[in-house]
Structure 1
Amino acid sequence: MCLLELKNINKYYKISGSNKFHVIKDVNVSFNKGELVSIIGESGSGKSTLMNLIGGLDSNYSGELLVNGKDISKLRKKELDTYRKSKVGFVFQSFNLISHLSILDNVTIAMTLSNVKKKARIKRAKEILSELGLENQINKKPSQLSGGQKQRVAIARALINNPEIIIADEPTGSLDSKTTMQVLEILRNIAEKGKLVIMVTHSEKVASCSSRVVKIADGKIISDDEIFKFENTYNLEDSSSNQKRFKFFGIRGKNLGIISAVKLALKNMKEKFARNIFLSIGGSIGIMSVILMLSLGNGVKTYFNTMMNSHVNPLVIEVNMPSEEDDKTIDLDVAKIQKPEINKEKSFEDTDIQKLSQIENVSQIEKGYTLISMGSNSLSYNGKGSNLIRLSTISSNITESNIQEGSLPKEGEILINKAVSDKLGGDVVGQKVTLNLLLNQKTVKAEFVVSGIENASGDLSSIIKSVFLNYSDLEKIYSENNSALKPNVMYINTTSEKYTPAIKEKVKEFGYSGSSQEQMTSMFNEMINITTYALSGIAAISLIVSAIMIIVVMYISVVERTKEIGIIKAIGARRKDIRRIFVCEAFLIGVFSGVIGLVFSYAVMNGINTMSNKLFNINVVIIKNSYAAFGVGVSIIISILSGILPANKASKLDPVESLRRE
């Protein structure tokens, strides 16, 4: 059985409309192992087209093209890629080496596409390069070699996957006479070892060195002459073994892996290092903007929450009864607010107190009472007075850190805030004052000693005139005036701060509400979040610009590397492999953009925080790890999405047309 057989092969090229040019006409020819065949003819005779058909670069023809009895015209695209990768090796007139890869990488690229391990492919490449006298050139670039050396590298690349067929397109066309004889001798030795070597040439001198000469003119074979036969120095059994090693019919071989694609993409990107760096910096601006906007919102929110929580004992949870209408509804009727009996909220009953005390990790329950009034309650001292808006009982929620001056109130003492202190003359700590309290439609009086002034920083106390006293003192006032004081707020003490969130959730499950401070904090946090997301959305517009920039640069890269793509396809790269290489390049641009953007973000954060600490003693910008991960992730996703269209374009390029591109 012949190794290669062509039966009734016809090939047409479309010219315009329905017009066609018949370039290959009823070609019937067969070839065997161990032959050095020259296909000779003038330019335009169809010899290069025939080479493309045999090499699997062009599958648009009629007839049968049999390799080991299998018709490659019936192969699917993936199988045809495997055929070029394992059965055929190409040697081109213009060498077609990839300029930015080393000699070693140029030779091993076919094995890289087969996902062969690095150690194995380097060993194989060094063996072949050593046989061709290039063992000292492996780390050089193609531009550093002579024409003869380049052609030997191309031959080494063709042999790397141990193919059965070597196709050489004008292999000596760019060489001087001495180098021509050296290359022909190498091809002759390859044929003697059992390979089928087909040379396409127009040179009679080159053809004279062949064992067989096939002449073609106007798309037809006009002569087929056997000059001589090589001695059977090759072992057909070994050849059969090699054939088993590189099967391509019905068996799916290994293909380019992700890690290999990333490494190849990195090597490709080094060729345009400066451009890729500037592209990454351009993409990083959008990422940096989004990270900084999110971090600015986080810094402001953290400062606000810290400020609010600094005056609250983390071990104490304030619990309020929901209002009769809706605990989110605030009645602003001044007439109602001025009347204590209408102002009263729902009180905690014994069942409520028992339910709260049974919550896990609760160490103690404190009763409390808060009264809001406008003009009905007041505090007087030394002929001066101050109307009170809020009267509250003291609890463990207020600590020494909340005291600006003096101390927490003991029995018979009250704590006032700065707004009340200013109204009474300022220097009232340790002085006796009179509390005027509207109770049961009459004003009752009680004397107290001012224990201290509350630190109003970060709280509405700075403008709301407030006093704080012990629950037992207020209860005594109510009792002396034939009234019963019932708590309208409870303070839950926890055993550890780590249990506070769980207890708050349990309180909400029972239908109670949290403190007014928590509600206000929640409202402000929501406002900050909305503002942050709005600013981040505006900043994200620059990401669209980055995406467009990546698409443009990737398309330019496809155009610049058209011939490189053709070379890779000629040695067996699948469409998927080409896509994978370009998408990996886009992925790397995304990684670099994200990392650069993150570095810039931290640099800007440190600069802003240095200034804000000097001016306000706060950190305005705080980058969370989640923001950093989000920024890098978004950068990668946008880059990959931007690279898909150019990658698809690259994968669809015709290898024959690509190889013609200069």
Structure 2
Amino acid sequence: MPVMELKHVNKSYKISGGETFQALKDVNLSFEKGELVSIIGESGSGKSTLMNVIGGLDSDFQGEIVVDGDNIGEYSEKNLVQYHKEKVGFVFQSFNLISHLSVLDNVTLAMTLSNVSKADREKRAKEILSAVGLQDQLYKKPDAISGGQKQRVAIARALVNDPDIIIADEPTGALDSETTEQVLEMIKEIAENGKLVIMVTHSERVAAYSSRVVTIDDGRVINDQVKNTLTVTDNKYKTSKPNRNKNLSLFGAMKLALLNMKEKLSRNILIALGGSIGIMSVILMLSLGSGVNAYLTDTMNSQVNPLVSEVHMPDEETGNQTDINEIQDQNPMLGLSSAASFETENIEELAGINHVEAVEEGFTNFSIGTNKATFDENTAQFMSVTTVSSMITSADIIEGSLPKDGEVVITQNMADTLGEDLVGQDIQVETIVNEESLDLTMTVSGIYGSEGGLDAVYLTYEDLKSFVEEAGGELDPNIVYLVSDNAANTESIKAEVEDLNYKGSTTEALADTFSQMLDIFTYVLAGVAGISLIVSAIMILTVLYISVVERTKEIGVIKAIGGRKKDIRRIFVSESFLIGLFSGLFGVGIAWGLSLAANAVSTNYFEIDIIDLTPMYAVSGIVLSIFISMVAGLMPAAKAAKLDPVESLRRD
């Protein structure tokens, strides 16, 4: 049974003006194993077209080309890929070796596309290269070997998948006479070892080596002459069989992409650095916002007890809340609240909230011009009398301790005005609470660490209540502090307080508002910085399109040796993935370096880390870079996959 049989094969091309040109006209041929067939003819006779249809590079023809009982003209893409991997090997006039791959890698490429393991494909390639006399040239690049050696590499690549058919297009056209003899002898040996070898040539000298010469003219076979029959011998080129019937793996595509990128290393580094600028800018903006936000939160949390929730009566209960809020904005630690007092049922309702361990009653009073403290002959004005609670901790006291019965804590500014070493000294406190004038002699137990803002006197709720009642008045709490059983439950308590229509801490509300504004500002800045990511995507898109043009012939070779469209896309998408990965890594690295420098300066001057570059931002930056790069690479990858192998191989 013939290895290949052509039955009434016709091939036409569309030309300008809507006309067609018929390149092959009713070609009928049959080929057997062990034949060395030369197809000869002048330029334009149709011999290259015949080679393309026989090799499955061009399946748009009429008639039948039967191989193993199947018409390759009816093959699906999958069948054609298997045909190129298993049945046919190509040897090209211009060698078509991939310049950035070593001799060994050029030969193993066909097996890489079949996902053969590295050990197996290197073993097989070394055996074939040894058979063609190149065992000492394995790791050289094509530019470092002679023309004859390049053609031997091409022959080894054609043989490595052990195909039944070898198609050689002008295999000696770029060689000198001595090297031509050597290559022709090798090709003859291949045929004698049981392969069908079809050479396309216009040289009578090459044809003289053949066992059969087919002459073609104007698309027709005009002569088919058997010159002599070759004797099939033991297969010199028969080595360990490659593992076929598999396809290029993602890891294999990544490796090929990495080798391709190494060829243009400087350019790809510059592309990655260019892309990293956008990633770096976005990361820095987000990290700056996070750092400032963290500073704000830490500052607020450092002034409060995480176990305590501050509660006020709702706004509608009072008419002077606006003025009080403005004052509290200036000095959050005063704990100013509405004048509305809590009733017993209010306190019981709050005490019934889940995870509330204790309820502390409190009071704050604000007045202007009526409050003063005296020590010796020094007088200090203050604006607020506030009761202490678990909200204020010993950490807030810079000197001394929290007050007990008969004691007060005063602000640092008041202490500076009244005199030195006030802790343990008695001072005179004059104030008006609930319209009752109070003139109290109190011992200073500590100094509250407030710099700037409003001055205040802090004492226990029990003391203040007792003093007001002794003066003939009444005192009900206008602030309540809820102590939770665990800091983790504080937020749920605050949420329940809000659901019950009570008012939380004005300080926290102000901080939340500021935090939201800061987040918006941060995202706006990150969005502006992100514009550079669009520029990066366009740059990657352009460079990959250029790469497609530069590697057109390489793409044709890959398709000729069994590469699928999916494999081509996968290689180019892998390249865009790697560019995105390196861009992201560069961006994160640069952002990290700049954040260290910025934090060193901010720590030196302000004792804070202004930039908070979290692992989440770093990972997100890398993922974003990869995503943008891969999206940019989709169109070039699709273009590369659609290239016609015949046209690609013609590209200079």
* TM-score between both structures, scaled by the size of structure 1: 0.90
What does residue 641 of structure 1 align with? 631
1:386 and 1:606 map into 2 onto residues whose CA distance is 45
Aligned: 1:575 with 2:565? yes
The 8 Å contact of residues 437 and 471 in structure 2, kept in 1 or not, is answered as no
2:463 and 2:82 map into 1 onto residues whose CA distance is 93
Q: 1:659 aligned to 619, 632, 649, which one?
A: 649
Provide closer, same or farther for how the CA distance between residues 326 and 258 of structure 1 changes in structure 2, counting only shifts above 3 A: farther
Provide closer, same or farther for how the CA distance between residues 485 and 180 of structure 1 changes in structure 2, counting only shifts above 3 A: same
The 8 Å contact of residues 397 and 449 in structure 2, kept in 1 or not, is answered as yes
2:162 and 2:42 map into 1 onto residues whose CA distance is 31
Q: 1:534 aligned to 501, 519, 524, which one?
A: 524
Provide closer, same or farther for how the CA distance between residues 390 and 80 of structure 1 changes in structure 2, counting only shifts above 3 A: farther
2:294 and 2:364 map into 1 onto residues whose CA distance is 28
Aligned: 1:366 with 2:360? yes
Q: Which deviates the most, 514-523 or 113-122?
A: 514-523
The 8 Å contact of residues 161 and 241 in structure 2, kept in 1 or not, is answered as no
Q: 1:606 aligned to 596, 607, 619, which one?
A: 596
CA shift for structure 1 position 552:
1.2
2:315 and 2:246 map into 1 onto residues whose CA distance is 71
The 8 Å contact of residues 23 and 218 in structure 1, kept in 2 or not, is answered as yes
Paired residue type of 2:304: V
Aligned: 1:11 with 2:11? yes
2:454 and 2:63 map into 1 onto residues whose CA distance is 96
Describe how 1:17-36 pairs up with structure 2 within 5 A: 17-36=17-36
Describe how 1:428-447 pairs up with structure 2 within 5 A: 430-439=425-434, 441-447=435-441
Q: 2:449 aligned to 449, 452, 455, which one?
A: 455
Over aligned residue pairs, what C-alpha RMSD do you find?
A: 3.0
The count of aligned residue pairs is: 640
What does residue 331 of structure 2 align with? none
The 8 Å contact of residues 377 and 438 in structure 1, kept in 2 or not, is answered as no
Paired residue type of 1:558: V
CA shift for structure 1 position 194:
2.1
Question: Helix, strand or coil: the match of 1:540?
Answer: helix
Question: Helix, strand or coil: the match of 1:23?
Answer: strand
What does residue 311 of structure 1 align with? 303
Paired residue type of 1:378: N
2:436 and 2:483 map into 1 onto residues whose CA distance is 36
Describe how 1:608-623 pairs up with structure 2 within 5 A: 608-623=598-613
What does residue 372 of structure 2 align with? 379
Aligned: 1:257 with 2:249? yes
Question: Helix, strand or coil: the match of 2:15?
Answer: strand
What does residue 410 of structure 2 align with? 416
What does residue 271 of structure 2 align with? 279
1:515 and 1:408 map into 2 onto residues whose CA distance is 22
1:321 and 1:22 map into 2 onto residues whose CA distance is 95
Q: Deviations over 1:360-411 (max 9, x none)?
A: 4x5543222234x343852343688766544321012212221234432221
Stretches of structure 1 that go unaligned for 5 or more consecutive residues are: 247-252
1:488 and 1:102 map into 2 onto residues whose CA distance is 84
What does residue 345 of structure 1 align with? 340
CA shift for structure 1 position 233:
4.1
Provide closer, same or farther for how the CA distance between residues 635 and 325 of structure 1 changes in structure 2, counting only shifts above 3 A: farther
Provide closer, same or farther for how the CA distance between residues 508 and 258 of structure 1 changes in structure 2, counting only shifts above 3 A: farther
1:32 and 1:508 map into 2 onto residues whose CA distance is 90
Aligned: 1:555 with 2:545? yes
2:488 and 2:241 map into 1 onto residues whose CA distance is 69
Paired residue type of 1:454: Y
The 8 Å contact of residues 322 and 346 in structure 1, kept in 2 or not, is answered as no
CA shift for structure 1 position 358:
6.4
CA shift for structure 1 position 223:
0.6
Aligned: 1:173 with 2:168? no
* TM-score between both structures, scaled by the size of structure 2: 0.91
The 8 Å contact of residues 376 and 437 in structure 1, kept in 2 or not, is answered as no
2:598 and 2:338 map into 1 onto residues whose CA distance is 47
Aligned: 1:153 with 2:153? yes
2:255 and 2:25 map into 1 onto residues whose CA distance is 45
The 8 Å contact of residues 2 and 69 in structure 1, kept in 2 or not, is answered as no
Paired residue type of 1:368: G
2:112 and 2:312 map into 1 onto residues whose CA distance is 70
CA shift for structure 1 position 478:
3.9
What does residue 506 of structure 2 align with? 516
Q: Deviations over 1:60-114 (max 9, x none)?
A: 2211121112111111223222222221100001110000000111001111111
Question: Helix, strand or coil: the match of 1:375?
Answer: coil
Q: 1:632 aligned to 622, 627, 641, which one?
A: 622
1:521 and 1:31 map into 2 onto residues whose CA distance is 86
What does residue 68 of structure 2 align with? 68
The 8 Å contact of residues 375 and 389 in structure 1, kept in 2 or not, is answered as yes
Q: Deviations over 1:418-438 (max 9, x none)?
A: 455567678865232233224
1:47 and 1:133 map into 2 onto residues whose CA distance is 30
Question: Helix, strand or coil: the match of 1:17?
Answer: helix
Aligned: 1:192 with 2:192? yes
Paired residue type of 1:453: I
CA shift for structure 1 position 494:
4.5
Paired residue type of 1:435: E
Q: 1:391 aligned to 385, 390, 396, which one?
A: 385
Paired residue type of 1:396: S
Q: Which deviates the most, 299-308 or 24-33?
A: 299-308
Paired residue type of 1:94: S
What does residue 249 of structure 1 align with? none
Question: Helix, strand or coil: the match of 1:366?
Answer: strand
CA shift for structure 1 position 324:
4.1
2:11 and 2:338 map into 1 onto residues whose CA distance is 98
Q: Deviations over 1:215-238 (max 9, x none)?
A: 001110001111222335479xx9
Describe how 1:227-242 pairs up with structure 2 within 5 A: 227-233=227-233
